[in-house]
Amino acid sequence: MSISIRALHPHVGGEVTGVDLRRPLTRDEVAAIEAGMDRHAVLVFPGQPLDDAQQLAFSLNFGEIEKALAGDLQKLDEKRLSTDFADVSNLDRDQEIVKRDDRHRLFALGNRLWHSDSSFRAVPAKYSLLSARIIPSRGGNTEFADMRAAWDELDDETKARIEDLICEHSLMYSRGKLGFTELTPREREMFRPVRQRLVRTHPVSGRRSIYLSSHIGGIVGWPVAEANDFIRELVEHATQRRFVYSHPWRAHDLVVWDNRQTMHRVRPFADTVEKRDVRRTTIAGDGPTVAQAA
Ligand code: OGA
Ligand code: MN
Protein backbone atom coordinates (compact mmCIF):
# COMPACT_ATOMS: atom_id res chain seq x y z
CA MET A 1 0.00 0.00 0.00
CA SER A 2 1.41 3.41 -0.83
CA ILE A 3 -0.02 6.87 -0.31
CA SER A 4 -1.69 8.54 -3.23
CA ILE A 5 -3.25 12.01 -3.35
CA ARG A 6 -5.80 13.21 -5.89
CA ALA A 7 -6.82 16.87 -6.18
CA LEU A 8 -10.45 17.59 -5.22
CA HIS A 9 -10.51 21.17 -6.47
CA PRO A 10 -8.40 23.41 -8.77
CA HIS A 11 -6.96 25.36 -5.79
CA VAL A 12 -7.53 23.65 -2.46
CA GLY A 13 -8.13 20.12 -1.18
CA GLY A 14 -6.81 16.65 -1.95
CA GLU A 15 -8.04 13.15 -1.13
CA VAL A 16 -5.58 10.71 0.38
CA THR A 17 -5.82 6.94 0.01
CA GLY A 18 -3.43 4.04 0.59
CA VAL A 19 -2.69 4.63 4.26
CA ASP A 20 -4.18 3.31 7.53
CA LEU A 21 -4.04 6.12 10.10
CA ARG A 22 -4.76 3.75 13.00
CA ARG A 23 -1.18 2.43 12.80
CA PRO A 24 2.14 4.21 13.33
CA LEU A 25 3.30 5.83 10.08
CA THR A 26 6.72 5.57 8.49
CA ARG A 27 8.81 8.72 8.07
CA ASP A 28 8.17 8.60 4.32
CA GLU A 29 4.43 8.47 4.88
CA VAL A 30 4.54 11.49 7.19
CA ALA A 31 6.69 13.35 4.65
CA ALA A 32 4.24 12.52 1.85
CA ILE A 33 1.34 13.86 3.92
CA GLU A 34 3.24 17.05 4.84
CA ALA A 35 4.10 17.60 1.18
CA GLY A 36 0.42 17.06 0.30
CA MET A 37 -0.56 19.63 2.93
CA ASP A 38 1.95 22.16 1.59
CA ARG A 39 0.48 21.75 -1.88
CA HIS A 40 -3.29 21.26 -1.29
CA ALA A 41 -3.67 22.97 2.16
CA VAL A 42 -6.57 20.60 2.97
CA LEU A 43 -6.42 16.79 2.90
CA VAL A 44 -9.38 14.44 3.20
CA PHE A 45 -8.73 10.90 4.44
CA PRO A 46 -11.89 8.85 3.87
CA GLY A 47 -12.62 5.59 5.69
CA GLN A 48 -10.47 6.16 8.81
CA PRO A 49 -12.45 4.93 11.84
CA LEU A 50 -10.17 6.45 14.51
CA ASP A 51 -10.64 6.41 18.26
CA ASP A 52 -9.35 9.32 20.36
CA ALA A 53 -5.98 7.68 21.13
CA GLN A 54 -5.37 6.92 17.44
CA GLN A 55 -6.34 10.44 16.39
CA LEU A 56 -3.99 11.90 18.98
CA ALA A 57 -1.10 9.59 17.97
CA PHE A 58 -1.54 10.48 14.28
CA SER A 59 -1.73 14.21 15.11
CA LEU A 60 1.57 14.12 16.99
CA ASN A 61 3.39 13.39 13.71
CA PHE A 62 2.94 17.05 12.79
CA GLY A 63 3.94 18.93 15.94
CA GLU A 64 2.76 19.69 19.44
CA ILE A 65 -0.89 19.61 20.46
CA GLU A 66 -2.53 22.94 21.16
CA LYS A 67 -4.71 22.41 24.25
CA ALA A 68 -8.38 23.35 24.17
CA LEU A 69 -9.38 26.59 25.83
CA ALA A 70 -12.90 26.70 27.16
CA GLY A 71 -12.97 29.68 29.47
CA ASP A 72 -15.98 29.54 31.74
CA LEU A 73 -18.05 28.19 28.86
CA GLN A 74 -17.68 24.68 30.15
CA LYS A 75 -16.36 23.78 33.53
CA LEU A 76 -13.64 21.20 33.14
CA ASP A 77 -15.65 18.43 34.81
CA GLU A 78 -18.45 18.94 32.28
CA LYS A 79 -16.19 18.33 29.30
CA ARG A 80 -16.86 15.29 27.13
CA LEU A 81 -13.33 15.02 25.76
CA SER A 82 -9.82 15.50 27.16
CA THR A 83 -8.16 18.92 26.77
CA ASP A 84 -6.13 17.49 23.87
CA PHE A 85 -9.37 17.82 21.90
CA ALA A 86 -11.62 20.67 20.86
CA ASP A 87 -15.15 19.31 21.13
CA VAL A 88 -16.97 20.74 18.12
CA SER A 89 -19.88 18.31 18.45
CA ASN A 90 -23.38 19.29 19.54
CA LEU A 91 -23.30 16.73 22.37
CA ASP A 92 -22.99 16.88 26.14
CA ARG A 93 -21.22 14.47 28.48
CA ASP A 94 -24.14 12.04 28.33
CA GLN A 95 -23.91 12.07 24.49
CA GLU A 96 -27.22 13.95 24.35
CA ILE A 97 -27.88 16.86 22.00
CA VAL A 98 -27.39 20.20 23.76
CA LYS A 99 -30.42 22.45 24.24
CA ARG A 100 -31.19 25.38 21.98
CA ASP A 101 -30.23 28.02 24.56
CA ASP A 102 -27.13 26.19 25.83
CA ARG A 103 -24.29 28.68 26.15
CA HIS A 104 -21.75 26.29 24.65
CA ARG A 105 -23.99 25.76 21.61
CA LEU A 106 -24.44 29.50 21.07
CA PHE A 107 -20.68 30.10 21.37
CA ALA A 108 -20.04 27.26 18.88
CA LEU A 109 -22.30 28.94 16.30
CA GLY A 110 -19.23 31.11 15.71
CA ASN A 111 -17.82 28.19 13.69
CA ARG A 112 -20.37 29.09 11.01
CA LEU A 113 -18.42 32.32 10.34
CA TRP A 114 -15.34 32.13 8.08
CA HIS A 115 -12.31 31.80 10.32
CA SER A 116 -8.85 30.37 10.87
CA ASP A 117 -8.50 28.31 14.06
CA SER A 118 -6.81 30.02 17.00
CA SER A 119 -5.98 33.21 15.12
CA PHE A 120 -6.96 34.80 18.47
CA ARG A 121 -3.91 33.23 20.14
CA ALA A 122 -0.52 34.95 20.10
CA VAL A 123 0.87 31.76 18.54
CA PRO A 124 -1.87 30.62 16.20
CA ALA A 125 -2.49 27.05 15.03
CA LYS A 126 -0.67 25.21 12.27
CA TYR A 127 -2.98 22.30 11.38
CA SER A 128 -6.42 21.22 12.56
CA LEU A 129 -7.48 17.57 12.27
CA LEU A 130 -11.21 16.87 12.41
CA SER A 131 -12.47 13.31 12.77
CA ALA A 132 -16.10 12.54 11.96
CA ARG A 133 -17.63 9.98 14.28
CA ILE A 134 -21.36 10.72 13.76
CA ILE A 135 -22.65 12.83 10.86
CA PRO A 136 -26.19 14.24 10.42
CA SER A 137 -28.31 13.12 7.45
CA ARG A 138 -28.26 16.59 5.84
CA GLY A 139 -26.21 19.79 5.98
CA GLY A 140 -23.10 20.44 8.05
CA ASN A 141 -20.59 20.58 5.18
CA THR A 142 -17.32 22.24 6.05
CA GLU A 143 -16.11 24.77 3.49
CA PHE A 144 -12.47 25.70 2.93
CA ALA A 145 -11.34 28.88 1.17
CA ASP A 146 -7.83 29.13 -0.30
CA MET A 147 -6.13 32.26 1.03
CA ARG A 148 -3.15 31.75 -1.34
CA ALA A 149 -5.30 31.92 -4.46
CA ALA A 150 -7.11 34.88 -2.88
CA TRP A 151 -3.75 36.69 -2.48
CA ASP A 152 -2.62 35.76 -6.01
CA GLU A 153 -5.72 37.35 -7.51
CA LEU A 154 -5.50 40.68 -5.69
CA ASP A 155 -4.43 43.63 -7.84
CA ASP A 156 -0.93 45.00 -7.26
CA GLU A 157 -2.19 48.15 -5.59
CA THR A 158 -4.13 46.18 -2.96
CA LYS A 159 -1.20 43.81 -2.42
CA ALA A 160 1.09 46.76 -1.71
CA ARG A 161 -1.51 48.35 0.56
CA ILE A 162 -2.03 45.30 2.78
CA GLU A 163 1.41 43.74 2.74
CA ASP A 164 2.55 45.16 6.09
CA LEU A 165 -0.77 45.59 7.88
CA ILE A 166 -1.29 44.14 11.36
CA CYS A 167 -4.74 43.03 12.54
CA GLU A 168 -6.23 42.62 16.01
CA HIS A 169 -7.89 39.24 16.61
CA SER A 170 -10.11 38.12 19.50
CA LEU A 171 -12.90 35.64 20.23
CA MET A 172 -14.76 38.70 21.54
CA TYR A 173 -14.90 40.10 18.00
CA SER A 174 -16.14 36.92 16.27
CA ARG A 175 -18.74 36.18 18.98
CA GLY A 176 -19.73 39.85 19.06
CA LYS A 177 -20.66 39.56 15.36
CA LEU A 178 -23.39 37.10 16.41
CA GLY A 179 -24.51 39.27 19.32
CA PHE A 180 -22.88 36.93 21.82
CA THR A 181 -21.52 39.64 24.10
CA GLU A 182 -22.09 38.39 27.64
CA LEU A 183 -18.68 37.25 28.81
CA THR A 184 -17.41 36.55 32.30
CA PRO A 185 -14.49 38.67 33.58
CA ARG A 186 -12.28 35.60 33.18
CA GLU A 187 -13.35 35.19 29.56
CA ARG A 188 -12.68 38.86 28.86
CA GLU A 189 -9.21 38.40 30.26
CA MET A 190 -8.60 35.23 28.20
CA PHE A 191 -9.95 36.85 25.03
CA ARG A 192 -7.65 39.91 25.11
CA PRO A 193 -6.90 40.83 21.47
CA VAL A 194 -3.67 39.64 19.86
CA ARG A 195 -1.89 40.96 16.78
CA GLN A 196 -1.35 39.05 13.55
CA ARG A 197 0.09 39.96 10.17
CA LEU A 198 -2.51 40.29 7.43
CA VAL A 199 -0.19 38.70 4.87
CA ARG A 200 1.72 35.51 5.61
CA THR A 201 4.37 33.58 3.73
CA HIS A 202 4.32 29.79 3.83
CA PRO A 203 7.59 28.47 5.30
CA VAL A 204 8.02 25.70 2.70
CA SER A 205 6.30 26.75 -0.52
CA GLY A 206 7.06 30.47 -0.07
CA ARG A 207 3.52 31.24 -1.26
CA ARG A 208 1.82 34.25 0.26
CA SER A 209 -1.68 34.21 1.67
CA ILE A 210 -4.15 36.63 3.22
CA TYR A 211 -4.54 35.82 6.91
CA LEU A 212 -8.23 36.51 7.42
CA SER A 213 -10.59 35.37 10.18
CA SER A 214 -13.90 36.41 11.73
CA HIS A 215 -11.82 36.95 14.88
CA ILE A 216 -10.45 40.18 13.34
CA GLY A 217 -11.85 43.35 14.93
CA GLY A 218 -9.36 46.00 13.89
CA ILE A 219 -6.25 47.01 11.95
CA VAL A 220 -3.46 48.69 13.89
CA GLY A 221 -3.46 52.45 13.15
CA TRP A 222 -6.84 52.43 11.37
CA PRO A 223 -10.21 53.75 12.56
CA VAL A 224 -12.22 50.70 13.71
CA ALA A 225 -15.16 51.09 11.34
CA GLU A 226 -12.87 51.58 8.34
CA ALA A 227 -10.85 48.51 9.33
CA ASN A 228 -13.92 46.31 9.71
CA ASP A 229 -15.33 47.51 6.39
CA PHE A 230 -12.04 46.86 4.62
CA ILE A 231 -11.70 43.38 6.15
CA ARG A 232 -15.27 42.57 5.11
CA GLU A 233 -14.39 43.49 1.52
CA LEU A 234 -11.30 41.26 1.64
CA VAL A 235 -13.32 38.36 3.07
CA GLU A 236 -15.87 38.77 0.26
CA HIS A 237 -13.08 38.61 -2.28
CA ALA A 238 -11.34 35.66 -0.60
CA THR A 239 -14.44 33.49 -0.23
CA GLN A 240 -15.69 33.65 -3.81
CA ARG A 241 -16.93 30.22 -4.87
CA ARG A 242 -13.98 29.56 -7.15
CA PHE A 243 -11.63 29.63 -4.14
CA VAL A 244 -13.80 27.27 -2.04
CA TYR A 245 -13.88 23.49 -1.61
CA SER A 246 -17.01 22.29 0.23
CA HIS A 247 -16.57 19.01 2.07
CA PRO A 248 -19.62 16.73 2.34
CA TRP A 249 -18.87 14.60 5.41
CA ARG A 250 -19.17 10.86 5.75
CA ALA A 251 -18.65 9.08 9.06
CA HIS A 252 -14.98 8.08 9.52
CA ASP A 253 -13.62 10.92 7.38
CA LEU A 254 -10.59 12.65 8.81
CA VAL A 255 -9.95 16.10 7.34
CA VAL A 256 -6.73 18.02 8.00
CA TRP A 257 -6.38 21.70 7.11
CA ASP A 258 -3.59 24.24 7.24
CA ASN A 259 -4.83 27.27 9.18
CA ARG A 260 -1.96 29.35 7.85
CA GLN A 261 -3.25 29.13 4.27
CA THR A 262 -7.02 28.65 4.50
CA MET A 263 -10.19 29.83 6.19
CA HIS A 264 -13.08 27.48 6.92
CA ARG A 265 -16.66 27.49 8.19
CA VAL A 266 -19.29 24.85 8.94
CA ARG A 267 -22.62 25.10 7.15
CA PRO A 268 -25.90 24.90 9.06
CA PHE A 269 -27.64 21.62 9.93
CA ALA A 270 -30.49 20.64 12.28
CA ASP A 271 -28.23 20.83 15.31
CA THR A 272 -31.00 20.70 17.93
CA VAL A 273 -32.39 17.51 16.35
CA GLU A 274 -29.56 15.47 14.80
CA LYS A 275 -26.25 14.42 16.33
CA ARG A 276 -22.95 15.55 14.84
CA ASP A 277 -19.97 14.14 16.69
CA VAL A 278 -16.78 15.64 15.27
CA ARG A 279 -13.59 15.88 17.30
CA ARG A 280 -10.68 18.19 16.59
CA THR A 281 -7.05 17.94 17.49
CA THR A 282 -4.99 21.03 16.76
CA ILE A 283 -1.28 21.38 16.03
CA ALA A 284 0.32 24.45 17.57
CA GLY A 285 2.11 26.92 15.32
CA ASP A 286 5.82 27.57 15.72
CA GLY A 287 5.70 31.27 16.65
CA PRO A 288 3.82 34.55 16.50
CA THR A 289 3.15 36.03 13.04
CA VAL A 290 4.32 39.40 14.24
CA ALA A 291 6.89 40.51 16.79
CA GLN A 292 4.64 41.10 19.83
CA ALA A 293 5.31 44.37 21.61
CA ALA A 294 6.04 43.65 25.26
C1 OGA B 1 -13.35 23.51 13.81
C2 OGA B 1 -14.52 24.03 13.11
C3 OGA B 1 -15.93 22.93 11.56
C4 OGA B 1 -16.92 21.84 11.58
O5 OGA B 1 -13.37 22.35 14.24
O6 OGA B 1 -12.38 24.25 13.94
O7 OGA B 1 -14.57 25.17 12.74
O8 OGA B 1 -17.20 21.32 10.50
N9 OGA B 1 -15.44 23.12 12.84
O10 OGA B 1 -17.43 21.49 12.66
MN1 MN C 1 -12.62 26.12 13.18
Return the pLDDT at 70.
62
pLDDT in tens, 253-282: 999 999 999 999 999 999 999 999 999 999
Distance, in Å, from the CA atom of 287 to the CA atom of 269, rounded to the nearest integer, reads 35
Task: Read off the pLDDT of each residue in 157-168 and give the average, rounded to a whole number.
Answer: 98
pLDDT above 90: residue 71: no
- Produce one character per residue of 125-134: b if its CB has 16 or more CB atoms within 10 Å, e if not: bbbbbbbbbe
pLDDT above 60: residue 108: yes
Which residues, by Cβ under 5 Å, contact ligand 2, an ion? 117
- In angstroms, what is the span from residue 5 Cα to ligand 1's centroid? 23
The closest-lying atom of ligand 1 relative to the alpha carbon of residue 264 is: 7
Residue partners of 109: CB distance under 8 A and separation at least 6:
178, 180
Return the pLDDT at 291.
75
Task: Read off the pLDDT of each residue in 11-39 and give the average, rounded to a whole number.
Answer: 98
Determine what percent of the chain is predicted with pLDDT higher than 90: 94
The closest-lying atom of ligand 1 relative to the alpha carbon of residue 130 is: 5
Return the pLDDT at 79.
85
Backbone angles phi, psi at 132, to 5 degrees: -95, 115
Task: Read off the pLDDT of each residue in 17-29 and give the average, rounded to a whole number.
Answer: 98
The closest-lying atom of ligand 1 relative to the alpha carbon of residue 128 is: 6
pLDDT above 70: residue 154: yes
Number of C-beta neighbours around residue 266 at 10 A: 23
Return the pLDDT at 99.
96
pLDDT above 60: residue 294: no
User: What does the H/E/C string look like for the chain?
Assistant: CCCEEEECCCCCCEEEECCCCCCCCCHHHHHHHHHHHHHHCEEEECCCCCCHHHHHHHHHHHCCECCCCCCCCCCHHHCCCCCCCEECCCECCCCCECCCCCHHHHHHHHHHCCECCCCCCCCCEEEEEEEEEECCCCCCCEEEEEHHHHHHCCCHHHHHHHCCCEEEECHHHHHHCCCCCCCCHHHHHHCCCEEEECEEECCCCCCEEECCCCCEEEECCCCHHHHHHHHHHHHHHHCCHHHEEEECCCCCCEEEEECCCEEEEECCCCCCCCCCEEEEEEEECCCCCCCCCC
Return the pLDDT at 69.
74
Residue of 229, 108, 224, 219 whose CA lies nearest to 174: 108
The closest-lying atom of ligand 1 relative to the alpha carbon of residue 111 is: 7
Report the DSSP beta bridge partners of residue 244.
Answer: 145
Residue 128, ligand 1, Cβ within 6 A: yes
Question: Which of 215, 264, 265, 276 for mutating ligand 1's site (highest number of atoms within 8 Å of CB)?
Answer: 264
Residue 88, ligand 1, Cβ within 6 A: yes
Euclidean distance between the first and the last CA atom of the chain, given in angstroms as a whole number: 51
The answer to whether 257 touches 264, Cβ cutoff 8 Å, is yes
- In angstroms, what is the span from residue 111 Cα to ligand 1's centroid? 6
Q: Average pLDDT, whole number, for the chain?
A: 95
The answer to whether 37 touches 127, Cβ cutoff 8 Å, is yes
Distance, in Å, from the CA atom of 242 to the CA atom of 238, rounded to the nearest integer, reads 9
- In angstroms, what is the span from residue 157 Cα to ligand 2's centroid? 31
Domains of the chain from N-terminus onward: 4-284 (3.60.130.10)
pLDDT above 90: residue 232: yes
Q: Does pTM top 0.75 for this prediction?
A: yes
